[in-house]
Amino acid sequence: MEPSSSDQDFIFGLIEYLFTRHDISFHISSKDFDVLYQWWEKGIPGDLIRRSMDTVVLRRRQRGKPVESFMNFSYEVKKNLGVRFQLNINTGAEAAHPDPAEREEEFIRNLHPDLEFLKEDFNKLIRSPSGERDAVRKEIFDRIIERYGEDSEMVIRTEIFTGNLPEPMRKPAVIRKFRENFLSRKYRIPDFGSHEEEKNKA
């Protein structure tokens, strides 16, 4: 199943998370895409899925079992979704989220030395209206990739990641998204705007 532009970030973000966080990669089958697409279609929050993945990876490693498919996470995701749903009913309250604006300001106050050349750009991004943030964010990542795109770790991880995708999925947009996510995790770059979408899905 080939993802559309609207669900591409969700699907490939989870594939990339499993690889960069846990160093786990395998050939992504059509069944894997079905599982990922169903999670997106049901609006399951990404943070719940990632925590479920973390739990399953740890458990299977303790038992000496490899993770070989996204189907390995299905039960844990379903269980945790039920727990969250029941918790929200019982408490009548949403789970607490760190304030996104505070996260963004903290990031700039403690900007990584490698990104000092972009300090004004990040300040511009914070001041930008929500409708303009995507364009400014893209410009920032263009400059980061231009400067650090040939970093050996990024090159190797990009090759491994794309190598495990079916041929039709190895598109420039997918590779670009992987690089952005890699850099975001390496430098702890906040979402700068996408938190509103996550709140709506939660």
Q: What's the average model confidence in pLDDT over 175-195? A: 81
Tell me what pLDDT residue 202 has. Answer: 36
Q: Output 193 or 65, whichever has higher pLDDT.
A: 65
pTM of the entire structure?
A: 0.65
Residue type (1 letter), 139: E
Helix (H, G, I), strand (E, B) or coil at 66: coil
Share of the chain above pLDDT 70, in %: 86
pLDDT at 153: 85
Q: State the average pLDDT over residues 10-27.
A: 89
* Average model confidence (pLDDT) across the chain: 83
Please answer whether residues 20 and 157 qualify as being in contact, where contact means their C-beta atoms are separated by less than 8 angstroms. yes
Is it the case that residue 35 has pLDDT exceeding 80? yes
Q: Would you say residue 73 has pLDDT above 90? A: yes
- The residue ranking higher by pLDDT, 168 or 147, is 147
Q: What H or E segment, with its residue span, contains residue 38?
A: helix 30-41
Write down the H helix ranges in 112-201. 119-127, 133-148, 152-163, 172-187, 195-201
SS3 17: helix
Domain ranges of the chain: 7-96, 98-202
φ, ψ of residue 9 to 5 degrees: the values are -60, -40
* Residue the block writes with tokens 């996510």: 181
